[in-house]
């Protein structure tokens, strides 16, 4: 079984990645399994740049096959904000609730038709030799007028899918994991992972 270290301490994110990668011959660990993990300064200009930084730096640190992921919400009427700053949108005392409330404040005068948004996820894979590949996935929706639902994390209570007339947080994992930005990115990443596993078995 191939070890894959996921460059995160976010338990909900790790759980989501595990669920989507289910079926591959992998043992997933988060950074909680390691001590003195060096911080990664997420100063890239894109999701892909930040994902690559995480994967490469932490693959070097652990000496293991590593997955770096960076994702966020891009709202059209806000010129793509919060974008790469999604997790820290509400400042130093950030939280999912504070981030959601700030977004609702900024969009309070925007009609539904102008609340188009997309979730973006970049996934990078690296080992101690360096970067193996980077992929990206997207999911389009609207920003709801109020938070609804209790599943998921981040902006899920506000991310409304017109097809289902529900937010990600209302839809729950079963549906979300088959249509989310993270699902589409990890679906592409699976090819890189499978090739890596085959190569290791062949060595």
Known catalytic residues are: 70
Asked whether 187 and 126 are in contact (CB, 8 A), the reply is: no
Buried-state track 67-91, b at ≥16 Cβ within 10 A, e below 16: bbbbbbbbbbbbeebbbbebbebbe
Retrieve residue 146's tokens.
Answer: 């109020």
Q: How far is it, in rounded angstroms, from Cα 14 to Cα 16?
A: 5
Q: How far is it, in rounded angstroms, from Cα 8 to Cα 167?
A: 25
Q: Is the peptide bond before 82 cis (omega within 30 degrees of 0)?
A: yes
């Amino acid at each position: 079984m191939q070890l894959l270290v996921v460059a995160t301490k976010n338990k909900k994110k790790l759980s989501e990645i595990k669920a989507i990668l289910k079926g591959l011959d992998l043992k997933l660990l988060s950074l909680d399994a390691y001590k003195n993990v060096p911080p990664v300064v997420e100063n890239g200009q894109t999701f892909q740049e930040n994902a690559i930084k995480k994967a490469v730096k932490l693959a070097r640190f652990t000496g293991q096959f590593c997955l770096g992921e960076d994702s966020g919400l891009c709202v059209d009427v806000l010129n793509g904000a919060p974008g790469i700053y999604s997790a820290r949108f509400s400042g130093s005392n950030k939280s999912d609730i504070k981030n959601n409330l700030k977004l609702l404040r900024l969009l309070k005068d925007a009609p539904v038709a102008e609340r188009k948004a997309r979730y973006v996820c970049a996934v990078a894979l690296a080992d101690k030799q360096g970067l193996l590949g980077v992929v990206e996935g997207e999911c389009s929706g609207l920003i709801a007028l109020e938070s609804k639902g209790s599943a998921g994390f981040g902006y899920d209570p506000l991310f409304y899918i017109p097809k289902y007339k529900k937010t990600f947080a209302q839809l729950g994992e079963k549906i979300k994991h088959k249509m989310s930005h993270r699902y589409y990115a990890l679906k592409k990443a699976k090819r890189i992972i499978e090739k890596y596993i085959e190569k290791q078995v062949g060595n």
